[in-house]
Amino acid sequence: MEGLLTPIQTRNKSGLDQQENHLVPLRTDRSHGEKQTYSLNSPEDALEILKSKPGHQELNNVLRWLNAIANAREGFNIKTPGPIAAQIVYVLVNDIVPDYWANLSEERTGQSKEKLLLIRCLSSVTGIGAIVSRLRLLLGLLKVPQGQGEISGISRSAPVETMIAVLQAVFDSDGFVASVWNDINSCISQLSQKSLQWKEFVSLVASGKVLSTASEASFALGALSQSVAASSWVGNGIEYATWLGRNVQHMISLLPENDVESDKALSQLLKRALSLGYTDQIVQAAFSDLMNGVDRSLEKIGHLMSNFSAHEQKILMHSIIRALSKRHLSRTDSTGSNGNSGDRGRGGVAALLAALIKTTHLRQDLLVDWLTGTSADAVGYYHNTHRAVIAALSLHTDQMMRALKISLELFGDKLCIKHAPMLHQEVNAQILLMLAGYAYRADKKSLMILARSSVYLNAISNRIAASSQRARFLGMAVGTAMSKLVNSEDKRMIFSAEELNSSNGQWYASLATVNDTIGSISDLKPAQIPLTKSSGKKAALTMRNTKPPKPTKASNTNSKIISIEEIEDSSEPEEEDLPMYEKPESDLSDDDEDPTLVQRNRPTAPVYIRDLLASLRDTENFDRHKLALTTASSLIRRKAAFGTEVSDNIEELATLLVGLSDRWEMENFQQMRLQGMIAVLTAEPLKMGQWFCMTFYNGDYSMGQRASVLTTLGLGARELAGFGKEDAALTGADASENAFPSKRLPDKLHNLYALEAAPMNALSQQLERAMIQPMAVEAVDKFSGPNALKVRTFSSRMAVEKKRQKPIPNALAKVVAEGFFFPLTGRWRIHLQANGENSTNTTPFLLTHLLKTLSLILHTSGSSTLSLPQMTSEFWDLLLSLRPRATDPSVLEALLFAFLTLLDINENDQRRLAEEYAKELLETQEWVGSVFERIGGGSEEGDRIRMLAASVLMRTREVVEKYQRMLMGDMVDFM
């Protein structure tokens, strides 16, 4: 042990050193109630006081001094980067905030002032960085597993909650970004240091550092304990992006004219904010004044966008169009009429877009690309949006003619005609006709030259020669409309087709006459309805009346029922001539033993649609809400037969039903909600089919609600086709109750997800058995011996006629393509381009449900549907594109089921499959063969996948063997 320590120096202690060994108690002033005085003349003094555990008064003095010298803008400033400022901020965040924040958060006048002074000291780049660093450190400690004897989870989470609250208090202002920029601009003189500070602030606030840290903290707190309040808008992406957009708007309003430096700084912030992933929320909040008709910041926004690159301006312009379309343009305008509904909104949107592209050729090119680009950016928007954009572009004749030529080339492209979704082709034809009308009024000579060019003639020829009936219709509609514009009456192109005389054909012909006027930006101002005192009182009274009644055991008096005794009646017997009444039926409301708890004020069933809407919104009143759900389906079906009450409120009704959540956990909630949605769909199949398809892709709903939308489309399509009675039992919650317990989700998740998809799963299994069973019977019959030795029994004619089903009128065939199938397949590509691979709709659960829904709609439409060739083409292209996603067993099974449905519905027209889809047929056969070889049997899931793959292989080989000479040529026999 002696060799472990080696002495370096030896000295003898003196008498003074001996005295220092004694422990002498130190007397502090605060121990005797006396206040120690500090001199506060420099930042070093402030730092020393903060480190010495100050009291309330000392802390108040230091905070006031720091804010006073910060406002003086001379000498030391805590908001200016420096070593002393960094140390003070570090002590404030790590020592002062944990000790004092709970007390400062109390609702007292003095405490609130101290809290405000502390927040001002932390409202800087250094302060935000210190808070984020401290929060990350606390998150790391929070993730460490809790050992035995350590503090509880709530105590461990308290520091994290405190830092989240501090961060939220620092950001709790729409002028926060502007104040930070003013501090940097006024306190820092060197341009390079100013630029570095602003870049650091942008990287913290706009690049996701603050948002990701706060979101991780909220998630960690929620996972730690359900009782911990972890909700905070700083950790919510949408709310954070909205706050950042409001700060950008506030800074735009304060920008002085010709301030290049501030303009550049704001451009850097907005550029980085667009990469957060919440572009629409940021743009809507940042330009909300402009979108609401206030044009005082128009010139500043134009200068701001000039600092952006071409790609960034494209993102910004597309987001502005999306926001304007959702806010100001009507939804009910798709293919009904070209009337003047929404003229004010269209004119205002056109005026705003025209002002943004007025002097900038780049933004004019962006509008042209938005209308006519191959990415089909304009497809997912309402028809009024197309009209507003074209009206804004009509002020620039050269750009309008360029858009017309590009649209015409795309319209006549053979690959586009064959492979592009029909929804894309229809929107392109509509834009082409409207552009032609504007070009005729602006430059008739150029339009006549274009109408005689080879591009136009080839486009019409390719369209008329197309195999799809809808593609031919679009070619005839465009040809007749263009010929009517440029040719005299005796030389016009005329087609004797019934489709052109229908309402849809006449609507397409009227597109060439659309001429929208450009209004003013002030037209976008929302209409203000004055609120009088009486209306305010009525509204308040209504809100009070909608509160759920609280059951009371007795009246306000203190009376109490002790007992109820039966007393024998000693009176004379009743007269025999009095009539005898039957015992009334039992009332569920009288079952309670305590008569004071009986609810006598029971709601009545809604009679009108407006009453149904009010009852569905009243989620606080259980009885009224349940009664509305119970009667919703029957009321909608009854009212849809006459009047316009359902059609006037149908979108609002559908929105309420889709967004309903089972707050009360009532019995058969999913069944009642689904029946109501199906009733809405069948009331107006074409309009609401398109609405439900758009809601599935663009609506802000959960996965369970999106699955219910697909279930509504599938079951609604089958009801329109005449299978409503067969599917009535599948709309309830009993479709998957017999699943093995290990195959079920927990009860809460099972109600959210499994019950939404149960009807579609049951229908797909029935259809699967119906398609596979004939092939199995045929295979057994083939290997049972020669046909000569088989005995066949013949039934009588009466027995055959009895078993034969009567033909059912298929109302679905008229609207299946335009209202159900094409919107689902066409919007899939749009959604994938806009949201990428990580979209919610690409998850295995929703993708499986989507494929089964499309398969059921295709099979239900029938083999005699006129649009079956185009539906087959689009569905086959979609299925082949989804092969890389078939890594999940559920997706693979749904994909094979879709292939089998596609081949089964086209069984009577196999020659057309061999002629028009030879490549797709061979690719399908090769891929399914590899799946059959790769997937092993032995399990229920593997056997089911192999059975589907074998069925698809049998169908494809049947077509290939029958038409092999057509598929591969005459030399196939010599290979």
What one-character-per-residue DSSP string does 446-474 give? HHHHHHTSHHHHHHHHHHHT-S-HHHHHH
Look at the block and give the residue holding tokens 């559920």: 890
Task: Write the single-letter amino acid at 958.
Answer: E
pLDDT band with cut points at 50, 70 and 90 for residue 19: very low
Query: Rounded to 5 degrees, what are φ and ψ at 530?
Result: -65, 135
Lowest mean pLDDT among 547-551, 837-841, 859-863, 876-880: 547-551
Lowest mean pLDDT among 582-596, 650-664, 694-708: 582-596
Task: Output the pLDDT for position 491.
Answer: 83
3-state secondary structure of 231: coil
More confident residue, 474 or 496: 474
Report pLDDT digits (tens) over 782-791. Answer: 544 454 444 5
Q: Look at residues 170, 149, 171, 151 and name the one whose alpha carbon lies nearest to residue 159.
A: 151
pLDDT tops 80 at residue 161: yes
pLDDT band with cut points at 50, 70 and 90 for residue 598: low
pLDDT tops 70 at residue 600: no
Task: Write the single-letter amino acid at 257.
Answer: E
Under a CB-based contact definition with an 8 Å cutoff, are residues 783 and 757 in contact? no
Task: Output the pLDDT for position 775.
Answer: 60
Task: Output the pLDDT for position 364.
Answer: 92
pLDDT tops 60 at residue 489: yes
Report how far apart, in Å, the C-alpha atoms of 105 and of each of 110, 115, 217, 364, 675 are. Answer: 11, 7, 21, 53, 50
Average pLDDT over residues 291-318: 89
| Both structure tokens of 357 | 């592209």
Report pLDDT digits (tens) over 859-891. Answer: 888 888 888 888 998 899 999 999 998 888 889
From the CB of residue 642, how many other CB atoms can be counted at a distance below 10 Å? 8
- The rounded percent of the chain whose pLDDT value lies above 70 is 74
Summary mean pLDDT of the chain: 78
Under a CB-based contact definition with an 8 Å cutoff, are residues 761 and 856 in contact? no
Task: Output the pLDDT for position 670.
Answer: 84
Task: Output the pLDDT for position 524.
Answer: 87
Please report, to the nearest 10 degrees, the dihedral formed by the alpha carbons of residues 680, 686, 687, 691 taken in order: 80
Please say whether the dihedral angle defined by the alpha carbons of residues 221, 227, 232 and 238, taken in this order, is positive or negative.
positive
Task: Output the pLDDT for position 433.
Answer: 94
Largest separation between any pair of C-alpha atoms in the chain:
132
Report pLDDT digits (tens) over 192-224. Answer: 888 899 999 999 999 889 999 988 888 887 766
Average pLDDT over residues 513-540: 66
pLDDT band with cut points at 50, 70 and 90 for residue 555: very low
More confident residue, 807 or 922: 922
pLDDT tops 60 at residue 593: no
How many residues can be counted in the chain?
975
Task: Output the pLDDT for position 571.
Answer: 45
| Burial profile 25-60: b = 16 or more Cβ within 10 angstroms, e = fewer | eeeeeeeeeeeeeeebeebeebbbbbeeebeeebbb
Task: Output the pLDDT for position 468.
Answer: 84
Look at the block and give the residue holding tokens 């083999």: 863
Report pLDDT digits (tens) over 925-974. Answer: 999 999 998 887 778 888 888 888 999 999 898 888 888 776 665 444 43
Task: Write the single-letter amino acid at 71.
Answer: N
Look at the block and give the residue holding tokens 């790769």: 934
Report pLDDT digits (tens) over 325-368. Answer: 888 886 544 444 454 445 788 899 999 999 999 888 999 999 99
Residues 6+ apart with CB under 8 A from 177: 205, 244, 247, 248, 250, 251, 269
Q: Mean pLDDT highest for which of 258-262, 416-420, 515-519?
A: 515-519
Report pLDDT digits (tens) over 219-259. Answer: 887 766 544 444 678 888 889 999 999 999 999 988 887 78
pLDDT tops 70 at residue 754: no
| Both structure tokens of 662 | 């089972």
Q: Look at residues 116, 247, 126 and name the one whose alpha carbon lies nearest to residue 177.
A: 247
pLDDT tops 80 at residue 565: no
Task: Output the pLDDT for position 25.
Answer: 47
Q: How far apart are CA 733 and CA 855, in angstroms?
A: 22
Task: Output the pLDDT for position 43.
Answer: 82
Average pLDDT over residues 801-828: 75
Q: How far apart are CA 512 and CA 72, in angstroms?
A: 67
pLDDT band with cut points at 50, 70 and 90 for residue 757: low
pLDDT tops 70 at residue 424: yes
Task: Output the pLDDT for position 971.
Answer: 41
Lowest mean pLDDT among 65-74, 201-210, 274-283, 747-756: 747-756
Cα-to-chain-centroid distance, residue 275: 18
pLDDT tops 60 at residue 776: no
Query: Rounded to 5 degrees, what are φ and ψ at 97?
Result: -60, -50
pTM of the model: 0.75
More confident residue, 32 or 192: 192
Task: Output the pLDDT for position 962.
Answer: 82
Task: Output the pLDDT for position 537.
Answer: 38
SS (H, E, C) 933-971: HHCCCCCHHHHHHHHHHHHHHHHHHHHHHHCHHHHHCHH
Q: How far apart are CA 468 and CA 87, in angstroms?
A: 74
Q: Given phi > 0 = left and psi -120 to 50 = alpha, else beta, which region is 785?
A: left
pLDDT tops 90 at residue 5: no
Task: Write the single-letter amino acid at 277.
Answer: G
Residues 6+ apart with CB under 8 A from 180: 123, 124, 125, 201
From the CB of residue 406, how many other CB atoms can be counted at a distance below 10 Å? 19
DSSP secondary-structure letter at 73?
Answer: T
Lowest mean pLDDT among 96-110, 305-319, 427-441, 443-457: 96-110
